[in-house]
């Protein structure tokens, strides 16, 4: 065997090795990027879940405070309690959670409307503190929602674009759903007046 044929065999072996390693490395890098984005979505959904729990706890305290001043508004309290219960037990898709949170937001609007008729309640330190804390929590939920939706956008984009689309399809990565409220009026933060 001559030196030329030995060199040719070495070049062909290296080319074959590169031809095998490059696609494998590309696949691993693409897969890892998708896993990283998927984990960002999961983490940011957990942040939303934490803020929603905080909201549910505040709503319970707010209802108890208003109830002490406006005990005869039983229907409003029951609707808010039912909406809170449904929102607390909501699991599954972001649209299902959004639907239940929208109902709770509507109940809070009714609760604040009731509170407007009671000047003593509006002057109560505990009521004012709860209103401020709820407004702060609503802002935190909005930030968490935006962060989650940005992660979902990045993940879904990665799934849709070539060449990562092939990796996503072969590894069964599924698009994520955005966390949105049902209507524009429900997207507004409940009005909190001191």
pTM, rounded to two decimals: 0.79
Going from N- to C-terminal start, the domains of the chain cover: 3-187
Q: Give the percent of the chain with pLDDT over 70.
A: 91
Of 95, 85, 51, 94, the C-alpha closest to 189 is 51
Scored b (16 or more CB within 10 A) or e, 6-34 reads: eeeeeeeeeeeeeeeeeeeeeeeebbeeb
Cβ–Cβ under 8 Å, residues 48 and 151: no
What is the Cα–Cα distance from 84 to 54, expressed in whole angstroms? 12
pLDDT in tens, 53-108: 999 999 988 888 888 887 777 788 888 889 998 998 888 789 889 888 988 998 88
Of 5, 44, 63, the C-alpha closest to 155 is 44
The mean pLDDT of 112-133, rounded to a whole number, is: 85
Spell out where 16-85 has E strands: none
CA trace torsion 135, 109, 94, 36 (10° rounding): -10
- Does domain 3-187 fall under CATH 3.65.10.10? My reply is no
> How far are the Cα atoms of 121, 177, 187 from residue 153, in angstroms, in the given order?
43, 9, 19
Cβ–Cβ under 8 Å, residues 151 and 34: no
Q: What angle do CA 83, 86, 129 make, to 5 degrees?
A: 50
pLDDT at position 194: 47
């Amino acid at each position: 065997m001559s030196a030329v044929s030995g060199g040719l065999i070495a070049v062909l072996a290296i080319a074959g090795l590169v031809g095998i390693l490059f696609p494998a490395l590309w696949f691993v890098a693409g897969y890892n990027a998708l896993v990283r984005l998927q984990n960002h979505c999961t983490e940011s959904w957990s942040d939303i879940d934490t803020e929603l729990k905080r909201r549910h706890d505040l709503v319970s305290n707010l209802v108890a405070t208003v109830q002490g001043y406006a005990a005869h508004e039983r229907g409003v309290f029951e609707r808010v309690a039912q909406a809170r219960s449904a929102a607390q037990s909501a699991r599954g898709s972001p649209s299902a959670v959004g639907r239940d949170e929208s109902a709770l937001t509507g109940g809070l609007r009714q609760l604040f409307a009731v509170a407007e008729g009671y000047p003593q309640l509006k002057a109560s330190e505990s009521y004012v503190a709860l209103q401020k804390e709820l407004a702060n929590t609503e802002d935190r939920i909005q930030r968490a929602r935006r962060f989650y939706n940005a992660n979902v956008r990045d993940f879904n984009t990665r799934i849709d674009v070539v060449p990562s689309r092939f990796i996503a399809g072969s590894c069964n990565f599924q698009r994520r759903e955005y966390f949105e409220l049902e209507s524009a009026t429900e997207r507004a933060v409940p009005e909190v007046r001191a």
